[in-house]
Structure 1
Amino acid sequence: MAGFTQWNEIELPAAFDAHVHLRDGEMARLVTPTIRKGGADTVYVMPNLVPPVTTVQQCLEYKERLQKIEPNVEYHMSLYLHESITPEVIREAKKAGVTGVKSYPAGVTTNSSSGVLDYETFYPVFAEMEAQNMILNLHGEVPSTPPHAPTSSSNPTTAITILNAEPAFLPTLKNLHTRFPKLRIILEHCSTAAALEAVRACGPSVAGTITAHHLSLIIDDWAGDPFHFCKPVAKTPEDRDALLRAVVRSEGRFFLGTDSAPHPLGKKRGEDKVAAGVFTQPYSVGYVLDALAKGVERDVIKEEEVTKEVLEGFFSGWGRKFYEVSEKGERIVVKRGKETVVDVLRSEGVEVEVVPFRRGEETWSVEWK
């Protein structure tokens, strides 16, 4: 039987994307219809709107707006970890069908200014989440050291930058898992080999998501291209290759969470600061398959490791099992090199425009059975 790099088409279950940013308003109208184009029929939606989604009512109203835009997608919703979140809110959220709570360290990424400064403050919330079998989603970085902070022997602590912000967070993950061993925790968008090892060192109640773009990018790619800049930033070639190996060797500990993050074109190129986020949603399955093929070519992973069972698990089965989400029964057929990524995503009647990852390049097409 021909190996993965010789496959021209593959039939798979529809994907479960366990980490998407759909925004709101005009942007939601533009990007929400692209979920199915990318091969997914089920998504877990991030709550970092402006203002953030911190109440159950806000969460349910947001879900309703998304369903009106694209009713053929199953949306699982989250709350934004905030000082207003209490054990009582967690019980209300569970009763209303909210899936989890997303934690953002204050100020590290898009719309995170209301984020967490002290995790210990939320121990009662985490205890209730554990009791209610809800998921805690962690943006696993710590804020950077202020640029003018002293670095002399009087301040021996290692300075934090965007390059080591994820490794610096990993003791927090270990501590939370130790204190709440039955709390389902996801370390989102793992970008380093150290993060993968930290997840593996925990019990089965801890998993990690891997994005499509982190399977391809390294530091050099985003340093000169605003459309490759995200948080956490892509790291070294060794880190990228560790992520590729994790896809095929994780036995379910890691699964797809694209962190697809759309920004208006002007926010990525044309203002003083570049917004953090890579938009991958319309082509997510294809991007992952392309990255795996390049991993085989570079002998990072073996061709025989990229099995249909692995692809079904990473794209759908493993994430659904962790989230306790059933398949809808829909299937897709992906075909090699049959799609060209648009230069700019536009929609009639919508003023905002977004540039997708790898604009103008070929990738796999998605057809629904």
Structure 2
Amino acid sequence: MEFTKLTEIELSAAFDAHVHLRDGEMSQLVTPTIRKGGVNQVYVMPNLVPPITTVQQCLEYRDRLRAIEPNVDYVMSLYLHESITPEVIREAKKAGITGVKSYPAGVTTNSSSGVLDYETFYPVFAEMEKQNMVLNLHGEVPSTPADAPTTRDSNAAITILNAEPAFLPTFKSLHARFPNLRIILEHCSTAAALDAVRACGPTVAGTITAHHLSLIIDDWAGDPFCFCKPVAKTPEDRDALLRAVVSSSGRFFLGTDSAPHASVKKRGEDKVAAGVFTQPYAVGYVLDALEKGVGRAVIGEGEVSNEVLEGFFAGWGRKFYQVDDTKNERVVLRKRQEKIVDVLKKDGVDVEVVPFRKGEQTWSVEWK
């Protein structure tokens, strides 16, 4: 097919392997937008306040999400915390919980209870390996404090620009020590991260967001609604991500990392909250980015095949997570038939969220 000439595409409903649905009013606002984006199955992040660290908390959270939108399949995770033990892992497996998400302490939203020392969790990872559970890694290290002494050693100072490459040795060492543990390097944002995943065995995969396929440094440096963690990097990194979508043969798949924040948290306070909200237009954003990639000759017209789209959006992620789309639903997408709202709001809900690329056109979604 000639992808850029298509005005309509029919695909399997998507599996989004990385979503933030929050809780309370924010969850009431954003959870109903999952299906609007062409998605019917999601892997839910556990970094609530307080974080989801027990099986009971996790199952109760899933029940709250189901009450808001029952037509979505919620695949659940626990937050890697000092209270997580091998016993908790065994209990989680029996309860149908799929994985555990690791956040380095302090690097992103609600990560203050995150990991300081990965070796501490080796017994947990060993049990996850036995139980065939997934370890999801936020692949960054904390930035060097601004008042730390300067040094000539270029590897000593960590900023948001090199926080992901600095984590890759830890990522590789975890895979080497636990070769049968299913590991996902989340929201890859650099060519180096892609290469690190490719260098690992078949138990390792990576997710790619919708927004990292479009953004570069200059975009978020001037727009708080494009600021996320990990930050978007160079044009070369963005283009490497686009090539990975069409050439990975299953090593990379969609994980939007859609992360809603109240609009006041993105503009109007002393610090900008990290997160880009893409849920209502998830599949459309990716299609738009691929079209632009073809236009820049980063990827070839023929590389954006139906097989690639079905794999990246649905098949590859479900295969890695070992989950099925029991409904076998399909969606029809139509080019530039949907206008992205300026602000997502809902009657009876006080919080409002500004989506990525507000006011622009993208693909509409119709469920078959």
TM-score by length of 1: 0.99
1:318 corresponds in structure 2 to 316
Equivalent runs, 1:326-337 vs 2, <5 Å: 326-327=324-325, 328-337=327-336
The CA distance in 1 between the partners of 2:299 and 2:156, in whole Å, is 34
Equivalent runs, 1:69-88 vs 2, <5 Å: 69-88=68-87
Q: Which amino acid aligns with 1:245?
A: R
The C-alpha deviation readout for 1:90-117, integer Å capped at 9, x for no partner, is: 0000000000000000000000000000
Aligned partner (choices 184, 189, 193) of residue 195 of structure 1:
193
Q: Which amino acid aligns with 1:282?
A: P
1:42 corresponds in structure 2 to 41
The C-alpha deviation readout for 1:163-222, integer Å capped at 9, x for no partner, is: 000000000110000000000000000000000000000000000000000000000000
Q: Which amino acid aligns with 2:171?
A: L
TM-superposed CA distance for 1:152, in Å, is 3.1
TM-superposed CA distance for 1:156, in Å, is 6.7
2:121 corresponds in structure 1 to 122
The C-alpha deviation readout for 1:56-112, integer Å capped at 9, x for no partner, is: 000000000000000000000000000000000000000000000000000000000
The CA distance in 2 between the partners of 1:225 and 1:250, in whole Å, is 31
The CA distance in 1 between the partners of 2:303 and 2:160, in whole Å, is 32
- 4+ residue runs over 3 A deviation: none
Equivalent runs, 1:235-246 vs 2, <5 Å: 235-246=233-244
The CA distance in 2 between the partners of 1:159 and 1:253, in whole Å, is 31
Equivalent runs, 1:1-80 vs 2, <5 Å: 2-80=1-79
The CA distance in 2 between the partners of 1:198 and 1:257, in whole Å, is 18
The CA distance in 1 between the partners of 2:323 and 2:52, in whole Å, is 22
- 1:276 maps onto 2:274 in alignment: yes
The C-alpha deviation readout for 1:16-47, integer Å capped at 9, x for no partner, is: 00000000000000000000000000000000
The CA distance in 1 between the partners of 2:144 and 2:256, in whole Å, is 28
The CA distance in 2 between the partners of 1:256 and 1:215, in whole Å, is 11
Q: Which amino acid aligns with 2:291?
A: A
The CA distance in 1 between the partners of 2:154 and 2:49, in whole Å, is 37
Aligned to 1:167, the other structure's residue is in SS state helix
Superposed CA RMSD in Å reads: 0.8
Aligned partner (choices 150, 158, 161) of residue 160 of structure 1:
158
The CA distance in 2 between the partners of 1:123 and 1:287, in whole Å, is 38
Q: Which amino acid aligns with 1:364?
A: W
TM-superposed CA distance for 1:310, in Å, is 0.2
TM-superposed CA distance for 1:158, in Å, is 2.5
TM-superposed CA distance for 1:150, in Å, is 1.0
TM-superposed CA distance for 1:147, in Å, is 0.7
Mark the CA change 1:103 to 1:152 in structure 2 (over 3 Å): closer, same or farther. Answer: same
The C-alpha deviation readout for 1:295-316, integer Å capped at 9, x for no partner, is: 0000000000000010000000
The CA distance in 2 between the partners of 1:19 and 1:143, in whole Å, is 21
- 1:292 maps onto 2:290 in alignment: yes
The CA distance in 1 between the partners of 2:151 and 2:351, in whole Å, is 47
The CA distance in 2 between the partners of 1:150 and 1:197, in whole Å, is 32
TM-superposed CA distance for 1:148, in Å, is 1.0
The C-alpha deviation readout for 1:108-151, integer Å capped at 9, x for no partner, is: 00000000000000000000000000000000000000111112
Aligned to 2:34, the other structure's residue is in SS state helix
Equivalent runs, 1:70-149 vs 2, <5 Å: 70-149=69-148
1:308 corresponds in structure 2 to 306
TM-score by length of 2: 0.99
The CA distance in 2 between the partners of 1:11 and 1:161, in whole Å, is 42
Aligned to 2:189, the other structure's residue is in SS state coil
TM-superposed CA distance for 1:157, in Å, is 4.2
Aligned to 2:317, the other structure's residue is in SS state helix
Q: Which amino acid aligns with 2:118?
A: Y
1:368 corresponds in structure 2 to 367
Aligned to 1:241, the other structure's residue is in SS state helix
How many residue pairs match? The answer is 367
Structure 1: state its 5+ residue gaps: none
- 1:220 maps onto 2:218 in alignment: yes
TM-superposed CA distance for 1:324, in Å, is 0.4
The CA distance in 1 between the partners of 2:226 and 2:156, in whole Å, is 27
Q: Which amino acid aligns with 2:331?
A: I
The C-alpha deviation readout for 1:268-310, integer Å capped at 9, x for no partner, is: 0000000000000000100000000000000000000000010
Structure 2: state its 5+ residue gaps: none
